[in-house]
């Protein structure tokens, strides 16, 4: 399984569009997030993604 995270400033157009385009591909899991504090879906740390 390949995981893709698409980022843009506010997660209102570019990254959600890219997420939808690639979501239909087999073996691909997608997500999108924004870097700005007022993003629709802001980037947050994922405690399960650390080393180990």
Q: What is the pLDDT of residue 21?
A: 95
**Do 27 and 4 form a contact (C-beta atoms < 8 A)?**
no
With a cut of 60, say whether residue 47 has pLDDT above it.
no
Q: For 1-21, how does the pLDDT look when each residue is reduced to its tens digit (9 = 90+)?
A: 999 999 999 999 999 999 999
Instruction: State the Cα–Cα distance between residues 22 and 37, nearest whole angstrom.
Output: 25
Closest CA to 3 of 46, 38, 52: 46
Mean pLDDT of 29-46: 89
With a cut of 90, say whether residue 49 has pLDDT above it.
no
| Model confidence, pTM | 0.76
């Amino acid at each position: 399984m390949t995981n893709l995270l698409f980022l843009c400033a506010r997660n209102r157009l570019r990254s959600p569009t890219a997420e939808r385009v690639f979501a239909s591909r087999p073996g691909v899991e997608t997500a999108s997030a924004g870097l700005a504090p007022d993003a629709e879906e802001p980037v947050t740390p994922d405690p399960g993604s650390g080393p180990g």
